[in-house]
Amino acid sequence: MKLSVVIPVYNEEGNLRPLHARISAVAAAHADDHEMIFVDDGSTDGSLAVIRELRRDDPHVRFVSFSRNFGHEIATTAGLDHAGGDAVVLIDADLQDPPEVIPQMLERWQAGAHVVYAQRRRRPGESGFKRLSAFLFYRTINLLSNVDIPVDTGDFRLMDRRVVEAVCKCRENPRFIRGLVSWVGFRQEALRYDRDERHAGETKYGLAKLLRLSAEAICGFSLFPLRAVLWLGGAITLISLLVSLVLVVRALFAPALADAQAFTACAMFFLGGVGLVALGVVGLYVGHIYGQSQHRPLYVVDTSGGWEDARPACSSDPALLNFDIARGWSVPPDSSEPTAVSTHPPAD
Ligand code: UDP
Ligand code: MG
Which ligand has the shortest distance to the CA of 207? 1
- pTM, entire model: 0.81
Q: What domain range includes position 83? A: 2-206
CA distances from 69 to 66, 168, 187, 345 (A): 7, 20, 33, 22
CB burial of 11-41 (b: ≥16 within 10 Å; e: otherwise) equals bbbbbbeebbebbbebbeebbeebbbbbbbb
**Polymer length of the chain:** 348
pLDDT at 177: 93
58 belongs to a structural domain: yes
Residue 303 located in a structural domain = no
| Shared domain check, 173 and 45 | yes
Q: What is the C-alpha to C-alpha distance for residues 55 and 59, in angstroms, rounded to an integer?
A: 6
Element (H, E) at 256: none
- Ligand 1: atom nearest CA of 203 is 20
Which pLDDT score is estimated for 222? Answer: 85
* Residues 197 and 235 placed together within one structural domain of the fold: no
208, amino acid identity: A
Residues 240 and 168 in one domain: no
Single-letter amino acid, residue 266: C
Give dist(CA 64, CA 41) in Å, integer.
Answer: 9
Average pLDDT over residues 121-130: 72
Orientation angle between helical segments 13-30 and 47-57, nearest 10 degrees: 30
Name the H helices within 31-101: 47-57, 72-82
Over residues 309-337, mean pLDDT:
48
Beta-bridged to residue 157, according to DSSP, are 90, 117
Examine the pLDDT at 302 and tell me if it is beyond 60. Answer: yes
Residue 52, pLDDT score: 95
> Is 17 within the bounds of a domain?
yes
**Which residue owns the Cα nearest ligand 1 atom 2?**
72
Report pLDDT digits (tens) over 4-25. 999 999 999 999 999 999 999 9
Tell me what pLDDT residue 315 has: 53
Q: What angle do CA 91, 148, 111 make, to 5 degrees?
A: 60
- How far away, in angstroms, is 203 Cα from ligand 2 center? 6
- Looking at the structure, tell me whether residues 271 and 166 fall in a common domain: no
Is the domain of 198 the same as that of 228?
no
Residues 104 and 252 in one domain: no
DSSP conformational letter for 331? P
Residues 228 and 200 grouped into a single domain: no
State the pLDDT confidence band at 311, using cuts at 50, 70 and 90: low
Ligand nearest to the CA of 206: 1
Test site for ligand 1: of 47, 72, 76, most ligand atoms within 8 A of the Cβ: 72
Taking the centre of ligand 2 as the mean of its atom positions, its distance from the CA of residue 39, in whole angstroms, is 15
CA distance 7 to 27: 14
Domain count, the chain: 2
Asked whether residue 175 falls in the same domain as residue 253, the answer is: no
Averaged pLDDT, 185-205: 86
- Residue 319, pLDDT score: 44
Substitution site in 94, 178, 198 for ligand 1 pocket (most atoms within 8 Å of beta carbon)? 94
How far does the centroid of ligand 1 lie from the alpha carbon of residue 49, in Å?
18
pLDDT surpasses 80 at 111: yes
